[in-house]
Amino acid sequence: MHHPDDDPKLLDYNAWLFQEHADESQRQAQRERQDALVRRCQATIGPRTFISELAMVAPTSLRLGADSYIAAHAYVTGTVHTGDDCTINAFSVVRGTVTMGNAVRIGAHTSILGFNHSMAPDRPVFRQAGTERGITIGDDVWIGSNAVLLDGVTVGSHAVIGAGSVVTRDVPDWAVVGGNPARVLRDRRVPKPAARGDGSVEAARGLADLARRATAQARALIARCWQQDALAPDGTPSGRYVDAPGARPTLRAHADAVEISQLLLGEPPAELPAREHVRRLRQNQDPRTGLTPLLDEEGRHGPAPSGYADGALHYHILSLGYALDLLGSRFAHPIVAVADMTPQEIVDTLNGQPWQDMGWAAGAGVDSLSTALMWNLLREPHPSPHTLTQCDTLFGWLHTHCRPDNAMWTGPRPQDGLLQVVNGYYRAVRGSFAQFGLPVPHPEQAIDTVLEHAADVRHFGPGLTTACNALDVAHPLWLAGRQTGHRRAEAEEWARAQLAGILEQWVDGQGFPFRFPSPGGPDHQDQRPGLQGTEMWLAVLWYLADILGMADSLGYRPRGVHRPEPALSLPR
């Protein structure tokens, strides 16, 4: 390393050397530089900081934490607030409203743009009004050189943004992301797998190939499921999404289209403007109950729901809620039918689920109830005691009624073994323990039960395997496997055995069927490719791949209904 005396500008470009090598005249010049910023914009600047004279720093509000620096030719304007140990390296641009936690490292030539402008066709772009949602970056984040972060994104703590990435959507905690648009490649806490002689390399290549094909074909397979009508009088696109050609329009299909497009492309489906997607997904929520009715055979909205007991409407709480979340929106109203429940009514609702006869439906009831509580909590600036008591009641019931022998909420039946038991378990824990980031009870017994079910040939094979049945095994093995190493090799063996068969089901330009076709070919609608099958199998593949330590081969990470991260942590 050259000594600073060799070049008077060395410290401007290698700002981390300033505290060790600057002489007194350089330190005095730095104090004057910082004092001028304090006077100009009431800046707050922590100790042991350095702001290069060669940087253009002209914010309206600046907070620079201790042990931080801004290097030569950085361009910093707007409202920029950082924690301690933050570094803005040479030629970086940080503009608009940008908030950083502690220990954020920004590589050279990076642009973090916490503002934007409109681009309506009625006037030149340079005359458009500005917008500013801002960018929030957590703690311990490394942003590689030449990355671009666009207005409105949130980067979770401990994330790594790969060099050259273009970040257009939120980045989860601990995620490693890369690409344009940036996609989650893996979780920092999970080491990359070493090359093995068990077919892992071939499996990883198969996953990567499928992901490339799915991404390239995403727009076409979604467009295939758009039922176009004539334009409305005002020119607004008119039509509805169907699960597959020939099916009737549903809001579930619309939500699946949003999930697939956001997962693979990082953008809303092209058939409608983003605001129109939001309007349609929100438009018929009943303000009295907070529930959204199904569409009728002609694609029109049905009558207002009678109340929470109408279970046919429950999946809209998940599908529409998460589709809106991916579009940066929320339900227009709280889920009033759940918000108004007393603790005793929650207990009565849970006790009233058909655990023994229809375990899947019972688990679905828990899933929708838990998800409604989550959306309601997210609407409250400060969680109310009533809503927190509802959550305590829900989780208390789940813990006290969970059977210690099999970790489920019911036992097997002669006619279908553990099918209803395990399917109900997945739905119940997805909406509760997984969605709120809480450990599942009796994880080793859960793995035992799920592996026993996975070996039941009545439910897996040609004409039998469905996306639901596969997900109901893959997710619990993944979730409980994060708490224990119990029978991990068997879980990996099962996951590895599923991959090849699933990859074979992809139909170019159409996606995945919900159910594996029969040996003689598809003989039912759910054995033909559609949006539901595509959305669910893409999630199943991610969980199987993550069990095997190769999810980074896919280049995507579920972000909606089937997201692996908790959606909300309960206040402690």
Interval 491-546: pLDDT, tens: 999 999 999 899 999 999 999 999 998 877 776 888 899 999 999 999 999 999 99
Ramachandran region, residue 104 (left: φ > 0; alpha: ψ -120 to 50; beta: rest): beta
Residue 250 CA to residue 240 CA, distance in Å, equals: 8
* Average pLDDT value for the chain: 91
Pull the structure tokens for residue 178.
């890369």
**Of 101-115, 308-322, 323-337, 473-487, which gets the smallest average pLDDT?**
308-322
**Residue 34's pLDDT band (cuts 50, 70, 90):** very high
pLDDT at 2 over 50: no
Residue 61 CA to residue 86 CA, distance in Å, equals: 17
Nearest to 343 by CA among 367, 369, 320: 369
Instruction: Return the residue matching tokens 């909606």.
Output: 560
- The residue from 3, 21, 73, 117 that is catalytic is 117
**Residue 398's pLDDT band (cuts 50, 70, 90):** very high
Q: What pLDDT is recorded for position 124?
A: 84
Q: What pLDDT is recorded for position 6?
A: 58
Specify the DSSP class assigned to residue 155: E
pLDDT at 223 over 80: yes
**Of 120-129, 187-196, 317-326, which gets the smallest average pLDDT?**
187-196
In order, the DSSP letters of 516-538 are PPBTTB--SGGGSB-HHHHHHHH
pLDDT at 4 over 70: no
Percent of the chain with pLDDT over 90: 73
Ranges in the chain annotated CATH 2.160.10.10:
4-187
Q: What pLDDT is recorded for position 357?
A: 87
Average pLDDT over residues 92-102: 96
Q: What pLDDT is recorded for position 20?
A: 83
- In sequence order, what are the residues at sequence separation of 6 or more whose Cβ sits closer than 8 angstroms to the Cβ of residue 438? 395, 432, 570
- Name the more confident of 451 and 463: 451
Is 81 among the catalytic positions?
no
Q: What pLDDT is recorded for position 190?
A: 67
Please provide the CATH number assigned to the domain covering 4-187. Answer: 2.160.10.10
Specify the DSSP class assigned to residue 431: I
Instruction: Return the residue matching tokens 């529409």.
Output: 320
Q: What pLDDT is recorded for position 282?
A: 96
For the segment 255-297, what is each residue's pLDDT rounded down to a tens digit? Answer: 999 999 999 999 999 999 999 999 999 999 999 999 999 998 8
